[in-house]
A and B are shown apart, each in its own frame.
Chain A
């Protein structure tokens, strides 16, 4: 390419940038020229250009009505073509080197971007939307997401992790979210357990991501079911890391409750139908630690180490609840233990106790934790449930002296 051609291309690129960012109505017509110019750029320049366009695009979208994204289809086309390398519904397989290069470009892009809202929207535009990997293309996209997050964890790339936290929140425990959790656990606790130290620094690097990740992981662990006698080896590793997280910063488990993400418009529409968790609106419940299935399993005699770690997690959770100040949002009291969370735990406990034969110690421990959560939540005025309701809900549970005391105390 001679100098003249180069100059022409640069001029064309500049014009295109303006075109894309301002979203003139003739963009669909000019798309072939844009694609041609980007194709001439090749990897990684084309990818970098598209990522920059995305940033600029979402910056300019602030001038539009909230939730309005002009030329959305063209944008998705450019994303698929120059970031995920899909052509005519066919996924081009990247070499490992090129894939690594791509991940680096993505991470660098988020590190460069200043605006939080356009950062979140860019991330969501790249990885959001689909809940179930329906085809190879989607699978590839998810794979890039998992690897990007793993790389961000390794490099302690806060910007990417913040976006991933918002993404996890919008996913509402979807199979995609579970897929990301599975990938993280595999990478850091199973395949390369020696790299788990990268996770250990997470509370300092990005507490928001940790806050979203923890309930997802515990839900994931529960989804694995009660059927296995033993825990997977990586479970212990993750539990220990989690316990250390909470011991250093117990408030991290209440972060979303006390300081939720702002309600931003999403680029994709999020489907909630396939969530692994029941309930319509999802937020990370701090009570995930005391999921009955989890408690019963960890209370087994042969899981002594896990029992201790879960005790530790639970203790730091209730300690965090105790220390949480009263919060009001939009004039309404905010409870870190919503009514539904307690009801879910009690309901699940009743169901599991009927179907699973458990030792008296395991049952006692589960009921003690329920009593403790109720008492601590109530004393800290962070429990959104009436005294009558809680007692009604507890009808049918096995006898528990501590729960009796707690419920009795509530009546005084």
Chain B
């Protein structure tokens, strides 16, 4: 047997070097045992374990040895053995950074439901005796780990009184730091989904009303974002939800803490936070109880939109203006109802508005729809069935029975194939409109809501603007709608990836607003850069309410004269207006400058190549043109509605092409 290495009597000047040699030898020995254990782990795992156990007792103060041994044990995926080692490590080396990281992994796994490593960590923690579990959680909590703080309280509720407020403050701070990027950060999620429901029900802790409102505001913001993000699984840079700044930040190495949640703090995916509206309602109830608000105002999620609104509206009208407990309840209930109904409305008609889906048509099924302007109908109904009365100096619309008309008329929402959409959509939409109206009806509500929208940075919520556009159109407030449409168009033009479908929608809405305002043709295609086809389509459309767009037509003629040519192969299919026909008959005359007109369809053009209406026009060509113009004159009594309908259906692709060309040039 080799002689054991016994330290001999050292000469003083060499003590240090001898000592260093010993340390080096010590370290080499430890490494050799660990290496040996690793090498035989595959073929004889128990021999490896025996070696590790030996190494651990040989070098009880060496963190590296102990930790390596733990890692080898962990790789064997036996939770009970690993837990023993972890407890040992924790009891002796809790200052070691690698151990802290490991403990963080273990405690973080506790709220995860994932398999693999997370599952193993959960098993490992489960094998640790309860007293040690407390100590580990307490240790991690002390290390400013909010999650551990929470776990500590969840597992051992007796800690709530001691640590509850500190945890809330800590989470608020962390959320504030991370919230500049997104409200959907892991701290907010922990606060809203886990901590508040536990801590706020503990009556031993007292909170100021202002603080409770703050918690509720943060919760509403969080769940609105969660609900919307659940419709937008790829919260990526192309998402229209994100503001340009947030896109830039997330693309540029945003710190983890504030990054939008792909998976949350507990390892759950965002989509795993199910029923956000129900969760939000539960927290509203908790806050209302703590704040002493009227609980009967809190309409449950299961109640229909319209019933909820009616209930809120009735409560509001029967309450005194100084009844703060009721007003607060109604306000928050209504705000939540507004967002929930608006969310449902968009979710049914076009979930793409919540995410990047509108960048490419057809990714999700959505409807291109128009909300019919009901202003005319509204007025006519008002005459027939309703009357105005003056209450408190305000004009109120009432029906024949004297019941106040809280809601606007149900809109007819038409899909692109002409079908009417479901009742649910209308209910959701009208509820959202009514809720908005209710907020606007009281100055305090309006002020609070404006402040909330400001706090929530609602300018980054394009869907809110889209709703406002729909709402204004619905209410016949076209100029406001046009203003918002223009703003939205400006915003999307700054996005790195153009959401084409949204642009089309905005253009159509813009067109319909202009149409209603009597400016339809003017704005459908930008006059300045329109091609012959677009100009031709504009002329066709102008026939609808001729001579409303007379000045525009005159401008078009000037432009044709200047260009010297005009090609519109479907001219004889759609142009039947006498004034137009006369003007075009004049254009080919020498007085007008012999404008070269190519107005026949391509096949006819080929057959009549020799007779093309051109500057060197042949007699036969002129004759054809004249004959066709005369034919068109005989059609001038045709139903213009049918003609325009046929035009829109037949030339749909061509119209969209023109719109796209226009959008692309924007």
CB neighbours (8 Å) of A400 from chain B are 1-2
9 contacts between A and B (CB under 8 A): A311-B47, A315-B50, A318-B54, A322-B53, A376-B53, A405-B29, A407-B4, A408-B5, A409-B58
For the complex, give the distance between the alpha carbons of A378 and B47 in Å.
19
> Is B58 in contact with A397, judged by CB distance below 8 angstroms?
no
The 6 A-B residue pairs with the shortest CB-CB distance, nearest first, are A379-B57, A311-B46, A399-B2, A315-B46, A312-B46, A407-B4
Q: Which residues of A contact B57 (CB under 8 A)?
A: 322, 375-376, 378-380
Instruction: Tell whether A391 is near chain B: CB-to-CB under 8 Å.
Output: yes
| Residues in A373-412 with C-beta less than 8 Å from chain B | 375-376, 378-380, 391, 394-409, 411-412
Interface residue B596 (Cβ < 8 Å from any Cβ of A): no
A319 to B60, alpha carbons, bound, how many Å? Answer: 16
With a CB–CB cut-off of 8 A, which chain B residues contact A406? 54, 58
- With contacts A399-B1, A401-B32, A405-B58 taken as known, whether A372 is within 8 angstroms of B51 at the C-beta atoms is yes
Which A residues are in CB contact (< 8 Å) with B281?
A: none
Q: From known contacts A307-B44, A315-B49, infer whether A371 and B1 are also in contact, taking CB-CB under 8 Å.
A: no
Instruction: Judge whether A132 is part of the interface by a CB distance below 8 angstroms.
Output: no
Closest to B5 in A: A408
Q: How far is the CA of A368 from the CA of B6 in the complex (A)?
A: 20
| Interface flag for A297 (CB, 8 Å) | no
Least Cβ distance of A5 to chain B in Å? 67
| A9 within 8 Å of B (CB atoms) | no
Known pairs A368-B51, A379-B58, A379-B60; list 8 more (Cβ under 8 Å).
A311-B50, A371-B54, A372-B51, A378-B57, A391-B4, A405-B58, A406-B54, A409-B58
Write the nearest CB–CB distance from A381 to chain B, whole angstroms: 11
A residues in contact with B315, CB < 8 Å = none
> With an 8 A cutoff between CB atoms, is A365 at the interface?
yes
Residue of A nearest to B59 (CB): A409
**From B81, which residue of chain A is reached at the shortest CB distance?**
A319
> What residues on B are CB-neighbors of A267 within 8 Å?
none
- Interface check A49, CB cutoff 8 A: no
Residues of B within 8 A of A380 (CB): 57
Q: How far is the CB of B4 from chain A (nearest CB, A)?
A: 4
A308 within 8 A of B: yes
**Which residues from A are CB-within-8-Å of B33?**
402, 405
Expressed in whole angstroms, the Cα–Cα distance for A401 and B54 within the complex equals 13
> B53 contacts A372, CB within 8 Å?
yes
Instruction: Decide if A369 touches B50 in the complex (CB within 8 Å).
Output: yes
Q: Residues 317-331 of chain A: 1 if any B CB is under 8 Å from the residue's CB, otherwise 0?
A: 011001000000000
Q: Kindly state whether residue A314 has any CB partner on chain B within 8 Å.
A: yes
Q: Is B46 within 8 A of A314, CB to CB?
A: yes
Q: Which chain A residues border B49 with CB–CB below 8 Å?
A: 315
What residues of chain A lie closer than 8 Å to B1, measured between beta carbons? 394-400, 403-404
Residue from the list A308, A315, A395, A397 in contact with B53, Cβ < 8 A: A315
Seen from chain A, the residues whose Cβ lies within 8 Å of a Cβ on chain B are 307-308, 311-312, 314-315, 318-319, 322, 365, 368-369, 371-372, 375-376, 378-380, 391, 394-409, 411-412
Task: For the complex, give the distance between the alpha carbons of A378 and B60 in Å.
Answer: 13
Beta-carbon contact of A402 and B5 below 8 Å? no
- Centre residue among B1, B6, B33, B36 by max chain A CB count within 10 A: B1
Contact A365 B47 (CB under 8 A): yes
Q: Return chain B residues, CB-CB under 8 Å to A398.
A: 1
Q: Are B54 and A372 in contact (CB under 8 A)?
A: yes
A404 to B33, CA, bound (A): 12
Residue of chain B at shortest CB distance from A378: B57
A379: chain B residues within 8 A (beta carbon): 57-58, 60
Which residue of chain B has its CB nearest to the CB of A412? B7
Q: Are B5 and A404 in contact (CB under 8 A)?
A: yes
* Residue on A nearest B36 in the bound complex, by CB: A402
Contacts of B4 in A (CB 8 A): 391, 404, 407-408, 411
Residues of B within 8 A of A322 (CB): 53, 57
In the complex, A311 Cα to B48 Cα: how many Å?
9
Interface residues of B in 1-56 (CB under 8 A from A): 1-2, 4-7, 29, 32-33, 36, 44-47, 49-51, 53-54
Contacts of A404 in B (CB 8 A): 1-2, 4-5
Taking a contact as CB atoms under 8 Å apart, the answer to whether B6 and A408 are in contact is yes
**Interchain CA distance A335-B633 in the complex, whole Å:** 121
* Pair A375/B58 contact, Cβ less than 8 Å: yes
Output the residue of A319, A365, A378, A394 with the most chain B CB within 10 A.
A319
Bound-state Cα–Cα, A308 to B46, Å:
7
Assembled-state Cα–Cα distance A394/B1 (Å): 7
Q: Is the CB of B2 within 8 A of A318?
A: no
Smallest distance from the beta carbon of A135 to chain B beta carbons, Å? 46
Find out whether the CB atom of A372 lies under 8 angstroms from the CB atom of B5. Answer: no
- Minimum CB–CB distance from A297 to chain B (whole Å) comes to 16
Bound together, the chains give a CA A409 to CA B45 distance in angstroms of 25
B2, B6, B7, B47: which has the most chain A beta carbons within 10 Å? B47
Q: For A399, what are the chain B residues with a Cβ–Cβ distance below 8 Å?
A: 1-2
Q: Which residue of B lies closest to A401 (CB)?
A: B32
Contact with A along B192-220 (1 / 0, CB 8 A): 00000000000000000000000000000
Question: How many angstroms between the C-alpha atoms of A401 and B46 in the bound complex?
Answer: 19
List, in ascending order, chain B residues with CB within 8 A of A402's CB. 33, 36, 51, 54
Task: List B contacts of A403 (CB < 8 A).
Answer: 1
- Interface residues in B252-280 by Cβ distance below 8 A to A read none
Complex-state Cα separation, A312 to B47, whole angstroms:
7
Q: Which residues of A contact B46 (CB under 8 A)?
A: 308, 311-312, 314-315
From residue A263, how far is it (CB to closest CB) to chain B in Å? 34
User: Within 8 Å CB of B5, what residues of A?
Assistant: 404, 408
CB nearest neighbor in A for B52:
A315
Residue of A nearest to B47 (CB): A311
Q: Tell me the B47-106 residues at the A interface (CB within 8 Å).
A: 47, 49-51, 53-54, 57-58, 60
Residues of chain A lying within 8 A (CB to CB) of residue B29: 405
Q: Which residue of B lies closest to A311 (CB)?
A: B46
Provide the residues of chain A in CB contact with B58, threshold 8 Å. Answer: 375, 379, 405-406, 409
- A8–B71 Cα distance when bound, in Å, is 79
Residue of A whose beta carbon sits closest to that of B30? A405
Known contacts A395-B1, A396-B1, A407-B4; is-contact A318 B44 (Cβ 8 Å): no
Shortest CB-to-CB span from B127 to chain A, Å, is: 15
Q: How far is the CB of A189 from chain B (nearest CB, A)?
A: 22
| Cβ of B611 to closest chain A Cβ, rounded Å | 99
Give the CA-CA distance A137 to B178 in the complex, in Å: 89
When C-beta atoms are compared, the residue in chain B nearest to A307 turns out to be B44
**Contact A308 B44, CB 8 Å, known A404-B4, A408-B4, A411-B6:** yes
Question: For residues 306 through 336 of chain B, which have their beta carbon under 8 Å from a beta carbon of chain A?
Answer: none
Nearest A residue (CB) for B44: A311
Which positions 213-234 of chain B face chain A at CB distance < 8 Å? none
User: What residues of A have a CB within 8 angstroms of the CB of B2 in the complex?
Assistant: 399-401, 404
Q: Residues 124-166 of chain B: 1 if any A CB is under 8 Å from the residue's CB, otherwise 0?
A: 0000000000000000000000000000000000000000000
B132: min CB distance to chain A, Å: 16
Q: How far is the CA of A211 from the CA of B125 in the complex (A)?
A: 32
**Given A322-B57, A395-B1, A400-B1: A372 touches B50 (CB 8 Å cut-off):** yes
Cβ of A405: which chain B residues have Cβ within 8 Å of it?
29, 33, 58
> In the bound complex, do residue B50 and residue A375 qualify as a contact, i.e. CB atoms below 8 Å apart?
no
Complex contacts, A368 vs chain B, CB 8 Å: 47, 50-51
Query: Chain B contacts of A396 at CB under 8 A?
Result: 1
Of all chain B residues, the one with the shortest Cβ separation from A397 is B1
Nearest CB of B to A369, in Å: 7
Q: How far, in Å, is A318 (CB) from chain B's closest CB?
A: 6
Instruction: Specify which chain B residues have a CB less than 8 angstroms from the CB of A391 in the assembled complex.
Output: 4
Chain A residue numbers with a CB within 8 Å of B7 are: 411-412
In the bound complex, CA of A25 to CA of B242 (Å): 107
CB distance from A376 to the nearest CB of B (A): 6
Q: Given the complex of chains A and B, what is the CA–CA distance between A401 and B3 in angstroms?
A: 10
Closest to A372 in B: B54
Q: Is the CB of A376 within 8 A of B54?
A: yes
In whole angstroms, what is the CA distance A401 to B53 when docked?
16
* CB nearest neighbor in B for A394: B1
**How distant is A11 from chain B, measured CB to nearest CB, in Å?**
63
**Complex Cα–Cα for A365 and B50 (A):** 11
